[in-house]
Structure 1
Amino acid sequence: MICDLKRDMADEGEGRRIMVAVDEGEESTYALSWSLKNLVFQNSKDTLILLYVKPPRVSFSAFDGTGYLFSSDITATMERYSQQVADCVMEKAKRLCHNIENVETRVENGDPRDVICEMAQRLGIDILVMGSHGYGLIKRAFLGSVSNHCAQNVKCPLLIVKKPKPTSAADI
């Protein structure tokens, strides 16, 4: 079925815009690898867009809980660290895409659930690919599910790629 989707969309003449949401987790790396093997043609007109969303900084008042003032140095250090994480994730993702001709990268700020849906709409994405963390009911209730939110709100087709669970001790 995926092969038919690839063939049908590629035959239209113009390339597809495929967006893969990436983060620090193994699940998004697996989803990107899966996409490169099963969805993205190596010598096609397709454009692969890698999207990383930096989570919003926790809002603090000028004072922390103990009454100490946050310095601009601490705030700048937190922002630098956030940017370093984003750079590291994007570099790892780009290395996986070494044989793909049309790769774009985007780093955005905000709630990943909202930003992914917004960017898919704004960039005219043909298909959105995401990994699934596989949270259980309790974790999903507390943490929220980005893929579930996107499934309910994104306006383009969404492919959620689940990383297979290890079947033996050698797979771990």
Structure 2
Amino acid sequence: MGRRIVIAVDEGEESLHALTWCLKNVILPSASAQESSSGGDEGDVLVLVYARPPRLYYPAMDGTGYIFSTDIITSMENYANELAKSVIAKAEMVCAEYPNVKVETKVKDGDPRDVICDMVDKLGADMLVVGSHGYGPIKRAFLGSVSSHCAQNVKCPVLIVKRPKS
């Protein structure tokens, strides 16, 4: 049986670099159809996980609940959905260069740290691969590090891939 490898993807080049690096260096291709039908080993399954930012809620001063009209809220939700589709489509195009790799996609709303950790646990992942933005200690202190949070909170090995500086 192949491994279940979760790769966190987002809009940044760091996650696409991590995906590409993983495909070249970690993923085992699926067995051929003939081997599969005769009970041969299956290849790895790659699960692309995208955390769609949660909808922001701005309380209005008049107590109606929203400061924006429903048209604006709908527009913001449509944008978030299109962005999620775009990120997943871009990642799937990278995976298409490896036709023997099985790919699944998951999109979930929430903080990326929580979404990634939850999906790893829910899917019973054998490995998590995340890209690193390479923030310095000050930026990391203010923004937080998704990769560090995941490395400390999931129960499987975590591979953090940094982009080369050049």
TM-score, reference length from structure 2 = 0.86
Residue identity over aligned pairs, in percent, reads 59
Cα offset, 1:159, TM superposition? 0.2
Moved more, 134-143 or 40-49: 40-49
| d(CA) in 2 for partners of 1:69, 1:21 | 33
Could you tell me which residue of structure 1 aligns to residue 160 of structure 2?
A: 160
Whether the 8 Å CA contact 1:63–1:70 is kept in 2: the answer is no
Superposition pairs of residues 59-138 of structure 1, within 5 angstroms: 59-62=57-60, 69-98=67-96, 99-138=99-138
Q: Which residue pairs with 1:17 in the alignment? A: 4
Q: Is the 8 A contact 1:130 1:147 kept in 2?
A: yes
1-structure distance, mates of 2:159, 2:3: 14
- Please report how far the alpha carbon of residue 138 of structure 1 lies from its aligned counterpart in structure 2 after TM superposition: 1.3
Gaps of 5+ in 1: 1-13, 167-172
Structure 2: tracts of 5 or more residues without a match: 32-42
Question: Which letter does structure 2 place at the counterpart of 1:73?
Answer: D
SS of equivalent residue, structure 1 residue 73: helix
> After TM superposition, what 4+ stretches of structure 1 lie above 3 angstroms from structure 2?
none
Which is bigger in relative contact order (C-alpha 8 A, separation at least 6)? Answer: 2
Supply the RMSD in Å over aligned alpha carbons: 1.5
1:27 and 2:14 matched: yes
- Normalising by structure 1, we get a TM-score of 0.83
| Distance in 2 of aligned mates of 1:104 and 1:84 | 18
